[in-house]
Structure 1
Amino acid sequence: MKLSVFYEHIREAAGQSGRSLEEICTLVKSFGIDALEMDADQFKAEEDAILTLLTKTGLTVSCMYGFFDFGHITSSAVREEQITSFLSMAGRAGASRVLVIPGFLEEHEQDPASLEHQQCVQLMKEAVAAMCAAAKPLGIRVGMEDFDDSRAPFATTAQLLSFVEEIPELSCFFDTGNFLYSGEAALEAYKRCRPHIGYVHCKDRTFEVHPKEEPKLTADGRPMYAAPAGSGCIPMKELVTDLLQSGYDDTFVIEHFGAQDQLAFMKQSAEWLLGLRKEVLGG
């Protein structure tokens, strides 16, 4: 089992604890976490400092993620420039995969039956397919996740699969906690997505109120809060166990944006995941 965590969690933990980024990275490494998920904009702003930090602490970048507005870019030259720049940064960071968030719908594009909606989604799919084609010779795998936002036309299982099934080189980056946003059962979503899963975000959530934490609201307005893996309302044990038993041997990404104690959450999540691996596979 390989574990990764978001670089943004490292930054948040440093701010919460008053420790340096290097100290937090060293602690994270001691938890059994070897890699980071890197925001492309963050990397662009701090590339030299980030690369130095990685060298000092022995961490690597497992995946780089980027936000785009492909649904509203009609120029192929502009699209190609953005894709090239993104993949180049991923290469410099040493990432073997990228997560693309291809864009969001504007208010007048929300109706799936409207021409505006269909044109926007089609532009997104064309851009993602172009990214997959450009990434393949670089040895970089492209994926999309079930992004928890009503403006994302890839938030639900059906929406995400409409991208993944239409674009052969595109992988499903399964986020265990995001289907709850749309009111879908994670286990049912997992069964449908399973043949396409190439990467996993281990996000647990709870409806138990955390007074000092800003909640994420579901599509129907219920406040959700961050939880260490295995401690919330997502069926994490069933999901991770099935992945391990089915031979998934890639990375499990620890994710809990909004946590008030990122360092403690990262430690607890890593301990739970590694403990479950030992329980399921032994050794």
Structure 2
Amino acid sequence: MAVLATFYDHIKEIAKQENIPVVEAMKEAKALGIEKLEISGNNILGREDELGQELAYTELGISGIPAYFDFGRDLDVKKQSEPILEAARYLGADKLLVIPGFLQEQDSREVQEKQIQNMVDSVNALAELAAGYGVALVMEEYDSFDSPFSTIAGVRRFLDGCPRLSCAFDTGNFRFMAEDELEAYEGLRDRITHVHLKDRAYTQANGENGKTARDGVVIYPAPVGFGDLKIEELISRLKRDGYDGVYTIEHYDTNRMLDYLRQSAAWVKARI
């Protein structure tokens, strides 16, 4: 059964913007139909007990853990990953969204290629280690020029090189690299097990900061379904292909987080 989720970072932003405690912001999200939270490793490590209590009190689950690594330069997979895997097991998270590292512009193409292969090899090693914790690995196309997995081809290289890795399809990140989201879906749909619902708008609202895409177009955050991307068609194709998992609503950088979440949740619930 399809499940609505959002990011714990969004919950914290709601608490800040609305001047309410984090637990109250979690309750607001729950009332809108959010059932799970995606909580980054940065928010978890050292706060496992506190987070566990927050989740239990608000009856929210955890849909996954985005975690940053530096596998391009540091091949000690076990040392980098064990703390977050232990936290995942403690909190009952069964997915780790792996962000294996970033490239540096000043490095030669040869050095960058070696680092990318190190990342692929390390993700393979991490997948084997994570399986022992009951945790599966997913990867999204990360919207950064320094990311070797920011394009269709970049994500596909990791998927093809890592049999246990699956795709966390982000509906909005391919636009950052000037790629079409429907084309991206068709190229990756055989490995999708997790979805981030992110819309983008070409016009500014509420004075929010935009992000300049590879083709020079400035893109702004938008409630899901209210921007300029083909979100409704993507959901239709996901349902056509039998996807029935987590849909994580995402709109970083908005200064109206609760309002955006309210609009997004209502729009998505009507379509899944």
- Could you say which TM-score interval applies, normalised by the shorter chain? over 0.9
1:84 aligns with 2:82: yes
State the partner residue of 1:106: 104
The one of 214, 221, 242 equivalent to 1:226 is: 221
Shift of 1:259: 1.0
Q: Deviations over 1:232-272 (max 9, x none)?
A: 11100000011112211100010000111111111111111
For normalisation by structure 2, the TM-score amounts to: 0.96
Q: The residue matched to 1:247 in structure 2 has which SS?
A: coil
Q: The residue matched to 1:168 in structure 2 has which SS?
A: coil
1: CA distance, partners of 2:54 / 2:216: 40
- What are the residue-to-residue correspondences of 1:81-230 with 2, within 5 Å? 81-109=79-107, 114-210=109-205, 212-230=207-225
**Letter matched to residue 29 of structure 1:** K
Shift of 1:211: 5.0
Which stretches of structure 1, 4 residues or longer, exceed 3 Å deviation after superposition?
none
Q: Deviations over 1:177-233 (max 9, x none)?
A: 000011000000100000011110000010111352121221233221111111111
Q: The residue matched to 1:36 in structure 2 has which SS?
A: strand
Residue range with higher mean Cα deviation, 148-157 or 39-48: 39-48
Root mean square deviation of aligned Cα: 1.2
2: CA distance, partners of 1:26 / 1:81: 36
State the partner residue of 1:236: 231
2: CA distance, partners of 1:137 / 1:211: 46
Q: Which sections of structure 2, spanning at least 5 residues, go unmatched?
A: none
1:3 aligns with 2:4: yes
Shift of 1:137: 2.8
- Number of residue equivalences: 271
For normalisation by structure 1, the TM-score amounts to: 0.93
Q: The residue matched to 2:251 in structure 1 has which SS?
A: coil
2: CA distance, partners of 1:251 / 1:264: 21
State the partner residue of 1:281: none
Residue range with higher mean Cα deviation, 87-96 or 162-171: 87-96
| Bigger proportion of residues as helix | 1
Q: Which sections of structure 1, spanning at least 5 residues, go unmatched?
A: 278-283
State the partner residue of 1:52: 53
Residue range with higher mean Cα deviation, 25-34 or 81-90: 81-90
Q: Deviations over 1:80-104 (max 9, x none)?
A: 1112222111111211101011010
1: CA distance, partners of 2:239 / 2:27: 27
Q: The residue matched to 2:5 in structure 1 has which SS?
A: strand
**Letter matched to residue 229 of structure 2:** I
